[in-house]
């Protein structure tokens, strides 16, 4: 132990430039502790002094940074991420994957709106334990006559209309609320850098989305931060031929246009144009992001439903799966 303490003293002695010589150190601490075993006592005390000085310096530096940020108004605008979700076997997996992305984004509030008559414990448990610190769990059921029938293809009816409209109402409930709104489906894939692009939105920012419109990506012709035109195949006559994942809206527009919302009785592919036109947006208002629309930061992916066709086979053999904690 004596050798260890002596080594510690020698290392710290080399790094302390404020004390000039070993004799000065011995004289200083000898007066406090006495001459007996002064090297060992010094070896114990010097690391404490070093830690105190470093901690004090770091604390002052942090306070200075906070003061500069407050004086310069460098407070990050909040991004309100709106996610409509509905019950299905892969629901928790989808929400967990999205949450793992959002948990890496600062100054974010996750608005999860469940398609249900009451909030489920599955959704509440998932979003409450996945790492996103600021979130709101809402719920509202889709009208029966607007629900997708088992015989209809997945794209036949618009999904998430009532849920997203409820999120719009929640955002408008506080007129002083500021920031940016982004609609993020739970099955899409997002590069965390996308949210840096979103945060600076003044009115409406746009970027290309991969795997949309029957193309590898739907193109946007952009130059110097402005949108010049569109390169799309699916219904190119749309006023705003964008995917819902391809734009973000400053909350000021939502406050200014309280009637703007989505609707069920809309031609397929026109929900985005309906929302933006009802907000009074023109093409000249659009702000090109993602390196003038040349970088892909979001993919319109869809998770394949899991194959559960062997559940009956287990039952025929008199077997059941053992219980798991929480939800699958």
Contact of 170 with 136, CB cutoff 8 Å: yes
Q: How many CB atoms lie within 10 A of CB 215?
A: 15
Q: Which among 85, 80, 2, 83 is positioned nearest to 44, based on CA atoms? A: 2
Which of the following is catalytic: 22, 272, 287, 316?
272
Report the distance separating Cα 219 and Cα 293, nearest Å.
8
Specify whether 272 is catalytic: yes
Looking only at the bridges linking them, the beta strands covering 226-231 and 219-223 are antiparallel
Q: Is 174 annotated as a binding residue?
A: no
Residues listed for the chain: 328
- Locate 318 and state its tokens: 């008199």
Contact of 146 with 71, CB cutoff 8 Å: no
Q: 49-58 long-range contacts, Cβ below 8 Å, gap at least 24? A: 50/12, 50/15, 50/16
Report the distance separating Cα 173 and Cα 178, nearest Å.
12
Instruction: Give the residue carrying structure tokens 């979103």.
Output: 198
Q: Which residues are annotated as a binding site?
A: 187
Q: Which residues are annotated as a binding site for Mn(2+)?
A: 187
Catalytic residue numbers read 272
């Amino acid at each position: 132990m004596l050798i260890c303490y002596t080594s510690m003293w020698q290392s710290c002695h080399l790094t302390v430039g404020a004390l000039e010589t070993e004799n000065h150190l011995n004289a200083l601490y000898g007066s406090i502790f006495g001459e007996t075993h002064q090297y060992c006592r010094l070896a114990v005390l010097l690391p404490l002094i070093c830690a105190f000085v470093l901690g004090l310096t770091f604390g002052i530096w942090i306070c200075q940074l906070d003061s500069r940020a407050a004086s310069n108004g460098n407070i990050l605008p909040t991004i309100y991420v709106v996610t409509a979700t509905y019950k299905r076997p892969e629901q928790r997996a989808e929400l967990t994957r999205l949450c793992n992305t959002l948990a890496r984004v600062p100054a974010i509030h996750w608005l999860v709106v469940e398609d249900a008559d009451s909030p489920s414990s599955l959704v509440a448990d998932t979003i409450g334990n996945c790492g996103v610190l600021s979130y709101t769990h809402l719920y509202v059921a889709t009208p029966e006559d607007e629900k997708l029938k088992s015989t209809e293809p997945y794209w036949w009816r618009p999904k998430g209309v009532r849920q997203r409209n409820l999120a719009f109402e929640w955002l408008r409930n506080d007129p002083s609320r500021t920031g940016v709104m982004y609609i993020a489906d739970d099955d899409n894939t997002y590069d965390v850098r996308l949210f840096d692009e979103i945060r600076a939105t003044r009115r409406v920012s746009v970027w290309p989305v991969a795997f949309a419109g029957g193309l590898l990506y739907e193109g946007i012709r952009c130059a110097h931060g402005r949108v010049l035109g569109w390169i799309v195949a699916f219904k190119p006559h749309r006023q705003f031929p964008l995917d819902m994942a391809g734009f973000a809206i400053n909350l000021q527009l939502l406050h200014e246009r309280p009637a703007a919302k989505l609707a069920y009785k809309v031609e397929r592919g026109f929900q985005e144009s309906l929302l933006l036109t009802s907000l009074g947006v023109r093409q000249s208002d659009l702000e090109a992001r993602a390196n003038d629309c040349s970088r892909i930061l979001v993919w319109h992916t869809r998770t394949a439903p899991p194959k559960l066709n062997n559940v009956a086979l287990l039952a025929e053999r008199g077997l059941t799966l053992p219980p798991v904690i929480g939800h699958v």
